Structure 1
Amino acid sequence: MGIVGEKLDIDFVISTGDNFYDDGLTEFLDFFFVDTTPFVDDYFTHPKDHKYDWRGVLPRKNYLSKLLKNLKSTLRHSTAMWKIVVGHHTIKSVGHHGITQELVSQLLPILEANNVDFYVNGHDHCLEHIIDTKS
């Protein structure tokens, strides 16, 4: 379908099903979404005028432990050629928010240990492409 779509310069396809049988398709890319907000200590210790709804997050230590355990497991079991982790907060940045130490110490080692290809984030309103010299 993809080859025909390119050859015919098709903009989109509406599929009604029954396209793939038995083993389906080989997925070569996995995205892993991480809730990075609970990692940031300042949101708990210095919330300023902000009001946060921590339902489902407290107790924080348990929430983060479970999140990291699940991430490790899903990354370890992924057979995808590309592993991309997505979170809101920066791990490292030259922008306004800079380095998020909590993510450097808790999340980054898991990404490195599981050969994650890259981490995509928001938070700093700038475009950066940071390369780790170890990878």
Structure 2
Amino acid sequence: MADMQFVLSLLIVLLLMSTGEPQGHGSLRFVGIGDWGGIPGNPFFTPLERANAVELGRVADATGLDFILSLGDHFYYSGVKDIEDFRFKVTFEQIFNHSSLLKLPWHFPELYYKLQLKIPQTSSSLTILMIDTVVLCGNTYQESQPHDPENHLDAAKQLSWIQTQLENTKSEFLVVAGHYPVWSIGHHGPTHCLVDKLRPLLKKHNVTLYLSGHDHSLQFIQEDDGSAYAVSGSGAFDDRFAPHRRSFPASWLRFSSAVNNTSGGFAYIEVSQEKMLVSYIQVDGKCVYQATLPKRKI
């Protein structure tokens, strides 16, 4: 049963996604939030998780949300046993219970998959690749970096799929989303496996944004060539440590909740015909950072 519990926790926790139909307001509006997995004992959620849920509901009412990308680590610390596990109720359903959020059904077709979305009232489109970074790189267990992939054939198959999708995508905006970050100054730091395997593909195919969680903070990192990386992992915990600040050039770090002394929250993203606007929203509703990303050069 322990092995089954672990497997199910990976299938559900790491790449779960909620999605609804675009609302037709001239743009796509969505949130990326990870690591909201509560705690394993009563009350099975954290104050920050509840505050994020309240603010998500407010944003959904105020601006409209087409979907939410949930970026992993959803049921701390050992996942769920099956679809009847009580943690679905006490950690997720009873917390993220705002009426506007209840309209967004869960969507999880595969361990990794593509979403193809037209931006309403425009000629532009958005492609999102949801990837499984545990299959690709291995698990972290109690360590900062993942071990080797548990199945190298599965890892190679996913990497080939990612490469094929990137090569064939003609969308004006392209997001790749997974649990582990490529770059991070937080507790885990950069994921060496992704820096080696994924980063070259993101750059080669002009991916608009790589979106992740894992480190419990908000970060926006942009390389000199414009390659952009967003960390949104403060769904339940707010980590103010930044031990990996020297792991990449200081000029790349455009924003960090730890360095800029802001609190937890989530990434709110709006994609219109000409640009992608990434905003970091605290649980008190304050926008603490914004970045604008242009259309891809195809």
Q: TM-score range by the shorter chain?
A: 0.5 to 0.7
The structure with the larger Rg is 1
- Give % identity: 29
The TM-score, its normalising length taken from structure 1, stands at 0.67
Runs of at least 5 residues in structure 1 that lack an aligned partner in the other structure: 4-10, 13-24, 49-56
The CA distance in 1 between the partners of 2:206 and 2:124, in whole Å, is: 17
| 1:119, distance to aligned residue in structure 2 (A) | 0.3
RMSD: 2.6
Q: Deviations over 1:70-108 (max 9, x none)?
A: 111111111100010000001110111101101100111
Task: Report the equivalent of 1:91.
Answer: 182
The CA distance in 2 between the partners of 1:70 and 1:115, in whole Å, is: 17
The CA distance in 2 between the partners of 1:128 and 1:47, in whole Å, is: 23
The CA distance in 2 between the partners of 1:39 and 1:75, in whole Å, is: 16
Q: Deviations over 1:9-29 (max 9, x none)?
A: xx79xxxxxxxxxxxx95610
Given candidates 112, 116, 122, the residue that maps to 2:207 is: 116
The CA distance in 1 between the partners of 2:159 and 2:24, in whole Å, is: 37
Decide which structure has greater helix share: 1
1:129 is paired with a residue of what secondary structure? strand
The CA distance in 1 between the partners of 2:182 and 2:223, in whole Å, is: 12
**Letter aligned with residue 196 of structure 2:** S
Runs of at least 5 residues in structure 2 that lack an aligned partner in the other structure: 1-22, 26-63, 66-121, 143-148, 227-298
Give structure 1 regions of 4+ aligned residues with deviation exceeding 2 angstroms. 38-41
Aligned length: 104
Higher relative contact order, chain-length normalized (CA < 8 Å, sep 6+): 1
1:94 is paired with a residue of what secondary structure? coil
| 1:39, distance to aligned residue in structure 2 (A) | 3.6
The CA distance in 2 between the partners of 1:26 and 1:76, in whole Å, is: 21
**Letter aligned with residue 28 of structure 1:** S
Task: Report the equivalent of 1:66.
Answer: 157
Q: Deviations over 1:18-52 (max 9, x none)?
A: xxxxxxx95610000110013445x3xx845xxxx
1:72 is paired with a residue of what secondary structure? helix
The CA distance in 2 between the partners of 1:84 and 1:2, in whole Å, is: 20
Task: Report the equivalent of 2:218.
Answer: 127
**Letter aligned with residue 88 of structure 1:** H
Q: Note if 1:102 corresponds to 2:199.
A: no
